[in-house]
Amino acid sequence: MRVFAPREPQAPSSTGHAYGSRLYRDPVLLGVSALVAASSAWFMLGGGGLHPRVLLLWALQVPLDVVLCWSAWRVRAVATGPARGFWTVFAVATVMWTVGDVIQTFLTALHPDVRTLDGGAAQTGLFIVALAAIVINMLRYPINAHGSAVGRERLAFWLDGAVVFVGGVVLVWCFAIGPAQADNGDLVVPLIGSSVVLVAAFGAVKMVLTGSAPMVAAAAAPMAAATLIQGLAAFLRSEDPNPFISASAFAVRMLPAALLVVGVRIQDLRARADAGNLAPRPRKPYSLLPYGVIAVTFGALIAILPQGVTTRLWGVVLGTIVLTGLVAARQLVAFHDNVSLINRLDGALSELRRHENKLRDQASFDGLTRLANRTVLAEQLTAALGAARRPVEVALLLIDLDDFKIVNDTLGHAAGDALLVSVANRIREAARDGDLVARLGGDEFAVLLRGASGTEAQQVAQRILSALARPVHVFRHDLMVQASIGVASADEHDDRDSLLRDADIAMYAAKDRGKGHYVCYTADMGQRIQDAADLATQLAAAVDNAELSVVYQPIVRLGTGRLLGTEALVRWRHPRRGLISPADFIPLAEETGLIVPIGRWVLGEACRRAAEWWRDQLAGHDLVMAVNVAGRQLREPGFVADVAAALAESGLPARCLSIEVTETAVFDDERAIAALHALRDLGVMLALDDFGTASSSLGLLLTCPVTTLKLDRSFVESITTVARQEAVAMAVIQMANALALNAVAEGVETVEQAALLRGLGYRYAQGYLFSPPVPADEAAKLWAGRQPCGCGRCDADSSGGMVVSVEEAAQPVVSVDA
C-alpha cells in the first residue's frame, strides 16, 4: 500500500499563492490570534484576582477546543490511507480534551478557592488518555512512504528515536524531576509536564526522521511547539509569589491550545487548496537531530558538574552512557548500510556496464551471424571514403541470396537462419583480411573493401560465388546456394549513399542475368534505372490519358485456315516516343502494380469487342477471346470478381473467354491456383501460355485446371531444322491429346513450320504467317472473311474462311478438321 503523505511544493504555483493569501485572511486564524493576544495582554497586566483569572483561562480553553475539534474532523474528511486513521484518532482526542476542559471550567466556577492551574482528576485523566491514544497512533504510523520498512531501516529509526527519547529523559531528569526530588516536592506535576515534553520529542522524531508525516511541515511546526510549550508550562505556577512568573504562567497556558488550532487549521486549508499536494515521500537517509540531542545532553552534564556529585548528576551520567551506546549501535547500523549500499552500487554499476556492452554489441553487430550490421557499415563506409587517397580505392559488394525464400517456406525459418550463418562464414572466409563483412538484413550481405582496385573487387566477388557454390549442409539437407553480387568502385565524387545505390543497381543487374553472377556497376546502368523510373511514371499517366490500345492476333485452324479465336494484346503509343514494345513496359507494369488496372481495362475492352462479334455472328460459330493475365493479377483478391463483372457487363458467354497464364505466374502459388479453379467454375477457358519454358510445366498439369496448352515459340522457330525441337513439339501434342487438352502452336511464321506442325497433329496455331496483331476493326473484317490475312498463301474456302496453301511444301494441305 502506498502512503500519501503531505509535502511542501517545490516551486511556487498559483495554488500555493492562493493558499498563502488565504492564511492571512482566514477568520478562524485571525480570531484565534486576536483571542490569544487579548487574553495574554490582560493576564500580563494582572487584571482581576487569582481565581477569576484561573476561571477565565479554563473558560477560554473551551472555544479553542471546539474549533480544534471542528478543524480536526474536517482534515479527517479529506485524508486518505494511514493519514485518515491518524486524524480520526486525533479528532477523537480533541473531543476528550474538550470534555475535560468543560468539566474543569464548571468545577473551577463552583470552587472559588481554586488558585492553581492544575486540572482536576477528570480533566487530567481525559488529557492523559487522549495523549496516550495519540502516542500509540504515532507508534503505529508507517515509518516510510511505502507503508513498510525492512529490518535495518526499522532498527535505524528506533535507534534514532531512542537517542532523542533518552536525551529528553536526561533533560527532564536534570531540570525537572531531579530538582523536585532534591527539594522533596510533589512529583506529579513534573511527571505530567515531563511526559508532555517527551511526547513532543517523539513527535519531532516522527516528523524529522521519517518521510511519512500525516501533515505538512507548516502545520506540524505549531503543533510540535504547542506540545513542547504545554510540557514547559507545567513548571510555571500561577501561585508563584513573583507577579511576573504568575502572569507568565497564565499567558503561556493560553498558547498550546491556540497553536494546536493554528496547526490543524493550516493542514485543513492546505489539504483543501491542493489535494495533489499529498504525495509519498522517501524516508530521509540521515538527520542531525540525534546528534543535536547528544550535544545538548553533554551540555547539561557540563552545566551540573560544578554542583558536585548528586543523584541528579548520576542520572545525567547514566543517561549520557546510554546515549553513547545507542549512538555507537546506530553507527554500526550506518556502517552496515553503507557497506550494503556500496555493494549494491557496485552490482548496479556492473549490471549497467553489462547492459551497456550488450547494447553496444546489439547496435554494432548482427545478432544471428555476428557480422557487422547496417549501421556499422554506413559508418565505416563514410570513414573510408573520407580518408581515401586519390585516386579512391574503395569498393563495395552487395550480395543477395537467390531463392532464399524457398528455403524458409519449405524447411522453416530455423533452417533459413542456419543457412544464413553458414553463408556469413563463407563470405567472411572469401573476403580479404581487413575487409568489413556486414549483414544488412534478411538475405542481404555487404563487403567493404579498402585499398582495392576494381579488379581486386571482382576477384573477391568471384571467390564469394565459388565459396557459395559448394553445397551447404543444413538440417540433414545439402542445399545449393547461389547469390547475385553487385560490385561498385568509388570515384572521387562518390559519397556513401551514391556508392550504396550503385552497388544496389549492379546487384539487380546481376539478378537480371540469372542466378550466381556478379556485375560491376557502369554509368549506363544508372541511366537505364532512371529511364525505367521515368517510363513507369509515364505509364501511370498513360492509363488515364487513353494512350493504351488493344490489338488482336488471330488463332487459326491448320488445314482450313478457319479462325478459332483471337488473342488480345495491349499496345502503348507514347505521345513522343511512339510505339513502345510490350517487352519494355509490361515488366514495369508488373513491378509497379500498374498491371492490375491495365489488365482490368484490357479484359473489359476485349470482352466488349468479343461480345459485339459474337452477337453479329461474324464467325458463324462461337469464337474464343484469349486474354493474357499476369501473376500479380491472379493474386489480387478481387480478380475473379473482375472477370465475372466483365462478362456480365459485356454479355459475352463465359465459354467464349480464355484466360492465358504463364507457368511462372502460377508456380507454387496457392492463391493463383485457387483463382484458376474459381474461373473454371464460371465456365471460363484456361490456357497455359509459353508451355515448356519453365521447370514446373509437367507438375502444373496436375494442379491447374487448364483446357489449352500453347507451345512456346522457342520450340517452333527452328522446328524444321532442329530435330530436338521437333521432338519436343511432338511430345507436347501427344501429351495434350492424352490429357484431352487443346494445343496451339505460337510464333508460326513460315508455311514449312505450319505444315510440319500439322503433320505432328497440331490443329491450331497463331503467328505472323496468318496475321500480325491488328486493330479491332481489321480483326472484325478477318472474322467476316472479307479480307485475307495478307500472307499470300491463304485463299478463301467455300465456307468463307481462310485456307493455308502449302504448295511450296510439295504437297497439298489436307484438312484435319475434326
Instruction: Give strand pairing partners of 439.
Output: 445
Q: Picking from 63-72, 462-471, 611-620, 673-682, which range would have the lowest pLDDT averaged per residue?
A: 611-620
* C-alpha distance from residue 369 to each of 18, 253, 365, 438, 471 (Å): 64, 84, 8, 9, 19
pLDDT at 280 (0 to 100): 43
pLDDT at 392 (0 to 100): 65
Radius of gyration of the chain (CA): 52
- Where does the pLDDT of residue 11 fall: very low under 50, low under 70, confident under 90, or very high at 90 and above? very low
> Do the domain assignments include residue 151?
no
Residue 722 φ/ψ, nearest 5 degrees = -110, 115
Q: Picking from 213-227, 449-463, 467-481, which range would have the lowest pLDDT averaged per residue?
A: 213-227
pLDDT at 754 (0 to 100): 93
Average the pLDDT over 487-503 and give the result. 88
Residue 543, class by beta-carbon neighbours within 10 Å (0-12 exposed, 13-18 middle, 19+ buried)?
middle
Q: Pick from 489, 521, 553: which residue ends a domain?
A: 521
Q: Could you write out the DSSP letters of every residue in 480-520?
A: ---EEEEEEE--TT--HHHHHHHHHHHHHHHHHH-SS-EEE
From CA 176, how far away is CA 197, in angstroms rounded? 11
**pLDDT tops 90 at residue 8:** no
From CA 727, how far away is CA 716, in angstroms rounded? 11
pLDDT at 287 (0 to 100): 58
> Nearest to residue 757, comparing CAs of 786, 799, 716, 723?
716
Instruction: Give strand pairing partners of 662.
Output: 689
Q: Which residue has the higher pLDDT, 160 or 239?
A: 160
Convert the pLDDT of each residue in 241-257 to its tens digit: 666 767 777 777 788 88
> Nearest to residue 570, comparing CAs of 523, 525, 603?
603
pLDDT at 180 (0 to 100): 55
Q: Picking from 188-197, 347-356, 619-628, 689-698, which range would have the lowest pLDDT averaged per residue?
A: 188-197
Q: Say yes or no: 497 and 545 in one domain.
A: no
pLDDT at 199 (0 to 100): 61
> Nearest to residue 794, comparing CAs of 766, 767, 770?
770
CB 797 within 8 A of CB 790: no
Q: Say yes or no: 494 and 625 in one domain.
A: no
Q: Picking from 21-35, 339-353, 434-448, 774-788, which range would have the lowest pLDDT averaged per residue?
A: 774-788
Instruction: Give strand pairing partners of 396.
Output: 448, 488
pLDDT at 216 (0 to 100): 76
pLDDT at 286 (0 to 100): 54
Provide the grid cell at 114.
Answer: 481554586
CB 164 within 8 A of CB 289: yes
- Where does the pLDDT of residue 701 fall: very low under 50, low under 70, confident under 90, or very high at 90 and above? confident
% the chain with pLDDT above 90: 26
CB 424 within 8 A of CB 531: no
Residue 348, class by beta-carbon neighbours within 10 Å (0-12 exposed, 13-18 middle, 19+ buried)?
exposed
> Do the domain assignments include residue 748?
yes
Average the pLDDT over 436-441 and give the result. 92
**pLDDT tops 60 at residue 518:** yes
Q: Say yes or no: 657 and 592 in one domain.
A: yes
From CA 235, how far away is CA 148, in angstroms rounded? 39
% the chain with pLDDT above 70: 76
pLDDT at 193 (0 to 100): 54
**pLDDT tops 80 at residue 315:** no
> Do the domain assignments include residue 17?
no
Q: Is 765 helix (H, G, I), strand (E, B) or coil?
A: strand
pLDDT at 289 (0 to 100): 62
User: What is the total count of domains within the chain?
Assistant: 3
Q: Say yes or no: 427 and 470 in one domain.
A: yes
> Do the domain assignments include residue 310?
no
The mean pLDDT value of the chain amounts to 79
Q: Say yes or no: 785 and 732 in one domain.
A: yes
* C-alpha distance from residue 328 to each of 166, 206, 479 (Å): 14, 21, 76
Average the pLDDT over 458-485 and give the result. 90
> Nearest to residue 253, comparing CAs of 300, 184, 189?
189
**pLDDT tops 80 at residue 569:** yes
Q: CATH number, domain at 753?
A: 3.20.20.450
Provide the grid cell at 106.
Answer: 464548571
* C-alpha distance from residue 664 to each of 411, 634, 710, 787 (Å): 21, 12, 14, 37
pLDDT at 463 (0 to 100): 95
421: left (phi over 0), alpha (psi -120 to 50) or beta: alpha
**pLDDT tops 70 at residue 178:** no
**pLDDT tops 50 at residue 723:** yes
**pLDDT tops 70 at residue 388:** no
Q: Picking from 8-22, 479-493, 575-589, 596-610, which range would have the lowest pLDDT averaged per residue?
A: 8-22
Q: Is 83 helix (H, G, I), strand (E, B) or coil?
A: helix
**pLDDT tops 70 at residue 606:** yes
Q: Say yes or no: 676 and 795 in one domain.
A: yes
pLDDT at 212 (0 to 100): 56
Question: What stretch of H or E contains 348?
Answer: helix 311-364
* C-alpha distance from residue 790 to each of 623, 768, 771, 774 (Å): 21, 10, 7, 12
Q: Say yes or no: 574 and 498 in one domain.
A: no
Residue 355, class by beta-carbon neighbours within 10 Å (0-12 exposed, 13-18 middle, 19+ buried)?
exposed
**pLDDT tops 80 at residue 223:** no
Q: Say yes or no: 476 and 590 in one domain.
A: no
Buried b (16+ CB within 10 A) or exposed e, 70-100: bbbbbbbeebebbbeebbbbbbbbbbbbbbb
**pLDDT tops 90 at residue 49:** no
Provide the grid cell at 796.
Answer: 478463301
Convert the pLDDT of each residue in 135-158 to its tens digit: 777 767 666 555 445 566 667 777
Provide the grid cell at 159.
Answer: 535507534
pLDDT at 143 (0 to 100): 61
CB 110 within 8 A of CB 80: no
Provide the grid cell at 407.
Answer: 528455403
CB 15 within 8 A of CB 273: yes
CB 663 within 8 A of CB 630: no
> Nearest to residue 660, comparing CAs of 616, 626, 620?
626
Q: Say yes or no: 582 and 711 in one domain.
A: yes
Q: CATH number, domain at 456?
A: 3.30.70.270
CB 712 within 8 A of CB 765: no
**pLDDT tops 80 at residue 758:** yes
* C-alpha distance from residue 98 to each of 125, 130, 247, 682 (Å): 13, 11, 24, 97
From CA 45, how far away is CA 721, in angstroms rounded? 142
Instruction: Give strand pairing partners of 624.
Output: 565
Provide the grid cell at 130.
Answer: 487522549
Q: Say yes or no: 686 and 772 in one domain.
A: yes
- Where does the pLDDT of residue 808 fall: very low under 50, low under 70, confident under 90, or very high at 90 and above? very low
Q: Pick from 496, 521, 546: which residue ends a domain?
A: 521
pLDDT at 246 (0 to 100): 72
Convert the pLDDT of each residue in 729-754 to its tens digit: 999 999 999 999 999 999 999 999 99
**pLDDT tops 60 at residue 186:** no
- Terminal CA-CA length for the chain: 93
Q: Picking from 46-60, 232-246, 320-334, 370-384, which range would have the lowest pLDDT averaged per residue?
A: 232-246
> Do the domain assignments include residue 213?
no
> Do the domain assignments include residue 70?
yes
Q: Say yes or no: 694 and 725 in one domain.
A: yes
* C-alpha distance from residue 477 to each of 401, 403, 410, 466, 557 (Å): 18, 16, 12, 20, 50
pLDDT at 70 (0 to 100): 92
CB 287 within 8 A of CB 209: yes
Provide the grid cell at 197.
Answer: 515534553
Question: How far out from the chain centre does Cα 90 lie?
Answer: 49
Q: Pick from 492, 521, 550: which residue ends a domain?
A: 521
Average the pLDDT over 423-442 and give the result. 93
> Do the domain assignments include residue 570?
yes
Q: Say yes or no: 689 and 574 in one domain.
A: yes
Q: Which residue has the higher pLDDT, 300 or 732?
A: 732
Provide the grid cell at 442.
Answer: 534478411
Average the pLDDT over 585-601 and give the result. 89
CA-based torsion, 185, 191, 196, 202: positive or negative = positive
Domain limits for position 114 = 27-141+236-247+257-273
> Do the domain assignments include residue 125?
yes
- Where does the pLDDT of residue 449 fall: very low under 50, low under 70, confident under 90, or very high at 90 and above? very high
Residues with Cβ within 8 Å of 292's Cβ and at least 6 positions away in sequence, in order, are: none
Any idea which residue has 504463364 for its cell? 662
Torsion of CA 721, 724, 725, 731, to 10 degrees: 140
Q: Picking from 99-113, 221-235, 521-535, which range would have the lowest pLDDT averaged per residue?
A: 221-235
Question: What stretch of H or E contains 570?
Answer: strand 563-574
